[in-house]
Amino acid sequence: MNNYQKGFTLLELFISLAVGLVLFAGVLSIFVGLKTTSSETSSAGTLQENGRFVLSVLTDDLLREGFWGDMPSQLTANSLSAIPVIAGPDCVGQGINNASFPQAVGYFRSIWGMTAANTNAMGCIADASVGSDILQLKRVLSIPIVGATDVTQYFLNTNTTTGTLFSGVGAAAPPFVSNGRVWEYQHHVYYIRNEAQGAATVPVLMQGVLSVNNGMSFSPLVDGIEVIRFMYGVDADDDGDVDAFISANNMTQAFWNKNNSNILAVKIYVLARDILPDNNYTNTNTYQLGDLPVVVNDNYRRLLFTTTVTLYNARVDTWP
């Protein structure tokens, strides 16, 4: 009996290798596609989360801009029995009465903005992103304080005719105001700066917060916000309707004044950008932020967010 072994022929081996390569290429193509899709999905999710968070923060602050608790109309130095002196650096916007607390001259501006023409602004910012906006807002929190007041914060104790500004006194009694209620006072400033993170340069939305210990101090709010832009809805004829939306660099001084009754709404534009570039993606879009076109040609993904906020306190004479 003859015993012998029979293997594959050379042709069969070549065919098997060819089929295997085709199958491997298909699997590799699917893997690369899934990885690309996963990266794009993750990027879109991050951009959506960051953009919506910024809109939420800015909207919340704008909705309550110019709210002074029980104090009717706009806060003025004449309506206050005491105004503290800020121990740290302050942020002072344009106009003769645009620091953290009202002065006995001109209109006290509870909302003001500018487009950064250079890195320095307001006497408190040294690293602003040129071309992006800076926004300044003042108000009190919408819920009165009962009990101890935080010694690191400023507060407003007010009734419907008068009030006093003071730094927190802990559990001690606040400065007396007849039938007064105590509200936490807030002064916020928002701007964009470009921050070095390793080998990358990342745009960061900064928030300035007024406190007793530090004056106006800034901290990062969220990474990947490249530009913020605000268009101010102006009522030029004082009939209660917005006549035009105007960017900060086109606003006149008169529009910032008149107890702010001229500014009835604000359009917010937020351009969110990926932290890192994707060399497999090229972005040549133009993003329209109100009257500002932002033209790009790079490898970063971006999303543009916008909303309009009505300033309910702009024309209120007395709070309910």
Task: Return the domain boundaries, the chain.
Answer: 35-310
The average pLDDT across 110-114 equals 96
Lowest mean pLDDT among 31-45, 59-73, 87-101, 145-159: 31-45
Dihedral sign from CA coordinates of 124, 127, 131, 132: negative
Nearest in space to 99 (alpha carbons), one of 111, 90, 112, 107: 90
pLDDT digits 0-9 by tens, 200-212: 899 999 999 999 9
pLDDT digits 0-9 by tens, 160-214: 999 999 999 999 999 999 999 999 999 999 999 999 988 889 999 999 999 999 9
Give the pTM. 0.87
The tokens of 287 are what? 């993003």
In this prediction, residue 317 has a pLDDT band, given cuts at 50, 70 and 90, of very low
Q: Which residue has the higher pLDDT, 285 or 43?
A: 285
Nearest in space to 251 (alpha carbons), one of 97, 118, 140, 135: 135
Is the pLDDT score of 7 beyond 70? no
Nearest in space to 160 (alpha carbons), one of 75, 221, 93: 75
